[in-house]
Amino acid sequence: MMLLSTLAFIVIVISAMAILVFRDWRINTGALGIQYLAVFALVALSWPVGMSVIKLIVGWMASAAIALSCLRQNKPDTSSESSASLIFRGLVGLLMIILIFLLAPDLQANFFPRLDLVIVQSGIMLIGMALVQLGTTSSAYLTIISLLSFLAGFEVIHAGLELSTLLAGLMVIVNLALALVGVYFISMEGELAPAPEEEGAE
Amino acid sequence: MNINTPILWVLVPIFMALVTGTLFQRRTLSLILSISTALGLTLLAIFFPEDLTLSLGPFTITFVERLAFLGRQITIVSEMLPLVALVYLATTLWILSSWVTDTPEIFRPTSLVVSGLLTAALGVQPFLYAALLIQTAILATIPALSHTQKRPSPGILRYLGLQTIAMPFILIAGWLLTGIFTLPPDSPLVSQSMLVLGLGFALLLGVFPFHSWVPMISESSHPNVTSFLLFILPTTILTFGLNFFDRYAFLRTSQDVFQVLRMIGGLMVVLGGIWAAIQDDFKRAFGFAALMETGFSLIALGLAIQGGLNWLLMLFPARAMAYWLWGYTLSKFEVHLETLNLQTMQGFARRFPFLSLELVTAQFSIAGLPLLASSPVKTALFTGVLDVAPGLGIWVFVGNLGLFLFTFKAIASLVKPAEQPMPQSWSKDEKLSDYLPALIIIVVIILMGLFPQIFLDPIRTTLTAFTQLQ
């Protein structure tokens, strides 16, 4: 169990960093999908596997919906982004990781004594990295990915506190609706962007 | 035959929203279905039988106030129906105005879904889960808010972000509060829970410093959609907040909590008033007026011991009418102009005298001008806050003057002749069908101001749903 939760925590740190640092939708949506795998593993520590697998399915559905919308809209990759901005976001992410390692034990002791430290660390890591991402982007699809990560972090912690079918059902609706809003935003931006042929013609 | 009240006021509007959403290209049919659904639910809430049985010839319908759902319950008790009636009356009015303005077609199904979800939020047990229903309603508003735009505006992204962040705070606070009954009042967990809960509500209500999305979406989205949203969301969230006061004795007996609420409310009125006064843009000014109104609601909550909860509820119908009027007139003006500011609308009263009068009346009504809808409640609030905290009362009064100042600026601009080669004379470029609906609402606003006991008092019954707050 300990090994599984530690592994899930490492996956969360790496995927959250990947979402924060890179702006390529392929990397972001892939990392989001992997992140939900780790979320599932952590939620399964508190909930029955049958219920916690809902988190995985919903997360993958959300990731797939966003990825397919980006693919359909031919969303341009941002590989031309300067290395300075990558390094900056990477450093901010590292700072956040250090901060969470420092704060999590106190938070666990004062607020969530019933939860394992790894669960608190994982949840706060997702929440913290998502908040940093929200603060450093004005892109609609990255905002949605950050909010999905934020909710995933909350779900990791809350699953350890309460088991409720209605809550799980409502969280499914919220996550899927958020992903649909993301699809809507991506399609709005896509309608504005010139088609590849037109771009070539120009 | 048994009918569950949550089916009527939650599932029926959501189902009808799906139907009207599918039929949105058949505008007239979609309009008729939306209006009849919202109006029907309003009338049913108003004339709901007290004994929960309705006899229609040989048929007898028995209403059941609960509906089991995924192991929990949604309860819509008859005491809550005045508020439910207001929610659906507002929905009816806004759907009607979407008919005569160029509101996005998606607004009609959206308004029904939002009303259904927010009504469910008023009755879900445990009440904490309302945060998730409110979040779902917020997500449903996004297409209607961003429909007229080329890309998602920063205001909408900020609105979505802040509202989504709020929901976990409410749920975590709820969990922290679970064992609070057994703790001494000076336990650090009590203050920690209150802090987390306060943060959640501050985010949801757009309390300073989380307010920036309010003027931003007010500026960028359709006025009819924004005015509906800025009415229905705070109304439901504030009523949901009453649950916490009802359930937790340490909240309703704490003088500190009420003092903090009054101070935050006062700060919002002052800042909103100053910002409104210096605005040029009518749509942004509306956003700041909405922030002031949230401030007044918080002050009313903070005056709970002096009877503030009654004033809080009585503010809702008055606010609904004024917001509707402001949204309607701005929607009408937006047909003629891309930006609605003091410069572009110069001389508009000379071409659109009735619509201009209606716009100014909406602003005066929100500001609490005597004889208009808000004035009886605002007067009571000013008196109450001056009694409890005279310094704060003076600040609130001064802050409220900000909206008056903006309205005087607006009148000066609307009446001043536009700069043209020839002096602009008075004419009438508006049709009766443009200004008649708003004129009717002005009459209602005046009647509300003159006879608050008839038009505003009935909503106070809602308070009886909260057994500890009566």
- Does the pLDDT of residue A36 top 60, yes or no? yes
Nearest neighbour of A170 by CB, restricted to B132, B140, B164: B132
Domain count within chain B = 1
pLDDT of residue A200: 40
User: Which domain, by its residues, includes B152?
Assistant: 2-465
The reply to whether B364 falls in a domain is: yes
Q: Do A157 and B150 touch (CB under 8 A)?
A: no
Q: Do A184 and B142 touch (CB under 8 A)?
A: yes
pLDDT-derived band of residue A198, with 50, 70 and 90 as boundaries? very low
User: Which domain, by its residues, includes A49?
Assistant: 2-75+83-189
- CB-based contact, A166 to chain B, within 8 Å: yes
Q: Do B70 and A188 touch (CB under 8 A)?
A: no
Q: Among candidates B229, B218, B212, which has minimal Cα distance to B140?
A: B229
Chain A residues in contact with B216 by the CB 8 A cut-off are none
The reply to whether B103 falls in a domain is: yes
The reply to whether A175 falls in a domain is: yes
Residue type at B238 in one-letter notation = L
- CB-based contact, B164 to chain A, within 8 Å: yes
- Would you write out chain B's pLDDT as a tens digit for each of its 470 residues? 888 899 999 999 999 999 999 987 888 999 999 999 999 999 999 998 888 888 878 888 888 888 887 778 889 998 999 999 999 999 999 999 998 888 888 999 999 999 999 999 998 888 888 999 999 999 999 999 987 667 888 999 999 999 999 999 999 988 888 777 777 767 778 888 889 999 999 999 999 999 999 999 999 999 999 999 999 999 999 999 999 999 888 888 889 999 999 999 999 999 999 999 999 999 999 999 999 999 999 999 999 999 999 999 999 999 999 999 999 999 999 888 878 888 888 888 988 999 999 999 999 999 999 999 999 999 999 999 999 999 999 999 999 999 999 999 999 999 988 776 666 677 777 888 888 999 999 999 999 999 999 998 899 988 888 888 87
Q: What residue of B is the nearest CA neighbor of A166? A: B70
Chain A residues in contact with B136 by the CB 8 A cut-off are 170, 173-174, 177
- CB-based contact, B183 to chain A, within 8 Å: no
Q: Which of A73, A154, A180 would you mutate first to test chain B, the one with the most B CBs within 10 A?
A: A154
Which residues partner with B73 through β-bridges? Answer: B68, B125
Q: Do B72 and A150 touch (CB under 8 A)?
A: no
pLDDT of residue B148: 66
Q: Do B136 and A158 touch (CB under 8 A)?
A: no
Is the distance from CB of A46 to CB of A163 less than 8 angstroms? yes
- CB-based contact, A82 to chain B, within 8 Å: no
The reply to whether A63 falls in a domain is: yes
Task: Please state, in angstroms and as integers, the Cα–Cα distance from residue B436 to each residue in A36, A71, B319, B333, B345, following that order.
Answer: 55, 50, 20, 15, 21
- CB-based contact, B343 to chain A, within 8 Å: no
Q: Do B132 and A192 touch (CB under 8 A)?
A: no
pLDDT of residue B337: 82
Chain B residues in contact with A54 by the CB 8 A cut-off are none
Q: Do B175 and A150 touch (CB under 8 A)?
A: no
Following CA atoms A152, A132, A146, B244 in sequence, which dihedral angle do they give, to the nearest 10 degrees? 60
- Does the pLDDT of residue A202 top 60, yes or no? no
As a whole number, mean pLDDT of residues A10-30 equals: 94
Q: What 8-state DSSP symbol labels residue B72?
A: E
CA distance to partner chain A, nearest, from residue B358 (Å): 35
The reply to whether B168 falls in a domain is: yes
Q: What residue of B is the nearest CA neighbor of A173? A: B136
pLDDT of residue A75: 65
- CB-based contact, B135 to chain A, within 8 Å: yes
pLDDT digits (tens, 9 = 90+) for A166-184: 888 999 999 999 999 999 9
The reply to whether A197 falls in a domain is: no
Domain count within chain A = 1
DSSP string, chain A: -HHHHHHHHHHHHHHHHHHHH---HHHHHHHHHHHHHHHHHHHTTTS-HHHHHHHHHHHHHHHHHHHHHHHHTTPPP-TTS-HHHHHHHHHHHHHHHHHHHHHHHHHHHHT-TTS-HHHHHHHHHHHHHHHHHHHH---HHHHHHHHHHHHHHHHHHHHHH---HHHHHHHHHHHHHHHHHHHHHHHHHHHHSPPHHHHHH-
CA distance to partner chain A, nearest, from residue B161 (Å): 7
- Rounded Cα gap, residues B87 and B234, in angstroms: 12
Residue type at B75 in one-letter notation = T
pLDDT of residue A74: 73
- CB-based contact, A170 to chain B, within 8 Å: yes
Q: Do B136 and A177 touch (CB under 8 A)?
A: yes
The reply to whether A198 falls in a domain is: no
CA distance to partner chain A, nearest, from residue B223 (Å): 21
- CB-based contact, B169 to chain A, within 8 Å: no
Q: What residue of A is the nearest CA neighbor of B149? A: A188
Q: Do B129 and A166 touch (CB under 8 A)?
A: yes
pLDDT-derived band of residue A111, with 50, 70 and 90 as boundaries? confident
Q: What residue of A is the nearest CA neighbor of B128? A: A167
Q: Do B172 and A157 touch (CB under 8 A)?
A: yes
**What tokens were used for A30?**
């892939």
Q: Among candidates B92, B162, B93, B80, which has minimal Cα distance to B125?
A: B80
- CB-based contact, A138 to chain B, within 8 Å: yes
Residue type at B359 in one-letter notation = L
pLDDT-derived band of residue A197, with 50, 70 and 90 as boundaries? very low
Q: What residue of B is the nearest CA neighbor of A112? A: B176
**What tokens were used for A81?**
């982004």
Number of CB pairs, chain A paired with chain B, less than 8 A apart:
85
Q: Do B172 and A184 touch (CB under 8 A)?
A: no
ipTM > 0.95 for the complex: no
Q: Can you give the pTM of this predicted structure?
A: 0.92
- Rounded Cα gap, residues B57 and B53, in angstroms: 13
**What tokens were used for B324?**
């509707």
- CB-based contact, B21 to chain A, within 8 Å: no
What is the enclosing helix (H) or strand (E) of B67? strand B66-69
- Does the pLDDT of residue A193 top 90, yes or no? no
- CB-based contact, B191 to chain A, within 8 Å: no
The reply to whether B470 falls in a domain is: no
E strand map for B187-296: none
Q: Do B157 and A181 touch (CB under 8 A)?
A: no
Q: What 8-state DSSP symbol labels residue B62?
A: E
The reply to whether A202 falls in a domain is: no
What is the enclosing helix (H) or strand (E) of B4? strand B2-4
